Amino acid sequence: MSSVISARYMTWAFERSLVDFAPVHEPVMVEEVLEALRPEKGRFFLDATCGTGGHSLAIAERISSEAVLVSNDWDRSVLEIAKERLLRQNKQIVITNFNFASLNNISAASGIRKFDGVLADLGLSSFQLDDPRRGFSFQSEGILDMRMSDFLSLTARELVNTLSEQELARIISTYGEEKKARRIARAIVKRRAKQPISTTRELAEIIEKLGVRRGRIHPATRTFQALRIAVNDELGNLERFLSNLPQFVAPGARVVIISFHSLEDRLVKRAFKAWAKEKKGRVLFKKPLRPSKEEVSRNPRARSAKLRSFIFESER
């Protein structure tokens, strides 16, 4: 009896398509992205961090039939969902699976040398954050993994169990901007001497016991952010992406970058300033755009988003 029920369910599920049941990430600041990127105008677009495809879908709806959108992500698992959602659009869309730091690979795989618009929506998608098997969240039990891509081999579990106390403190302080980094590193080293730390809850409890809560955020928030940045070399990748980008944009190209913490935003701001100084183009907004109150109340994960945009010089 139960097999009949499951078979019927599966038929129905496939008729609807599996993607209709997949948890997808809610894209942030969509209207602001479209206004800055102007996808209806150019020919070649790159969504460097496509995730489950929210922004890519919005861009795909607006590009012309001659235009091509390259939707890229480092994480193969999100692309499975993005692919199904995007292929429903009757537009030219190429899906690639590279670290955005290697723009040369994205360019070679898509056959596009120069993009008219590039979007990078940095960080993690809800799809990744909410999956306990990925180990990004201290709110659910999972193996301390935190790798954004299966191209990576070193996990957060290896970092917390093998790095020296000084190195752990440096990572937690620099990437987490955590004032209690030395105390946290000391507690980690003390605990792992008894037994290796394997799970997200084990690490969170070590930090909770120290009573280092600051304001309303959970005391483990900054340490988890720091480990995630270290495992994925997020700042190194962003720096390489920004330094390679000018070679891969067409005259008049528009670049939009959304960041979620001050370390990323600082790198974006600095790169845009340097490009403007080199007369490559101009910064579109003096101050980064922030999500509206309505958006934050609808989607609290948007609350720390900062959107910056740069327009490259058109040919004269």
Ligand X SMILES: C[S@@+](CC[C@H](N)C(=O)[O-])C[C@H]1O[C@@H](n2cnc3c(N)ncnc32)[C@H](O)[C@@H]1O
Q: What is the C-alpha separation between 207 and 203, in angstroms, rounded?
A: 7
* φ and ψ of 256, to 5 deg: -130, 125
| Terminal alpha carbon distance of the chain | 73
Task: Determine, following the binding rule CB under 6 A, whether residue 32 of this chain makes contact with ligand X.
Answer: no
Residue type, 194: K
Q: What is the C-alpha separation between 264 and 229, in angstroms, rounded?
A: 10
Residue type, 51: G
With CB under 6 A, what is the number of residues at the site for ligand X?
A: 22
Task: Determine, following the binding rule CB under 6 A, whether residue 259 of this chain makes contact with ligand X.
Answer: no
Task: Determine, following the binding rule CB under 6 A, whether residue 78 of this chain makes contact with ligand X.
Answer: yes
The pattern of x and - marking residues 99 through 138 that bind ligand X according to CB under 6 A reads xxx-------------------x-xxx-------------
Task: Determine, following the binding rule CB under 6 A, whether residue 255 of this chain makes contact with ligand X.
Answer: no
Q: What is the C-alpha separation between 64 and 91, in angstroms, rounded?
A: 8
- What is the closest distance, in whole angstroms, from the C-beta atom of residue 72 to ligand X in the complex? 6
Task: Determine, following the binding rule CB under 6 A, whether residue 148 of this chain makes contact with ligand X.
Answer: yes
* φ and ψ of 207, to 5 deg: -75, -40
- What is the closest distance, in whole angstroms, from the C-beta atom of residue 56 to ligand X in the complex? 7
Interface region with ligand X, contact rule CB under 6 A, candidates 38-46, 74-82, 164-172, 303-311: 74-82
- What is the closest distance, in whole angstroms, from the C-beta atom of residue 212 to ligand X in the complex? 27
Q: What is the C-alpha separation between 313 and 164, in angstroms, rounded?
A: 47
Could you list the residues that contact ligand X (CB under 6 A)?
25, 27, 49-55, 73-75, 78, 99-101, 121, 123-125, 148, 237
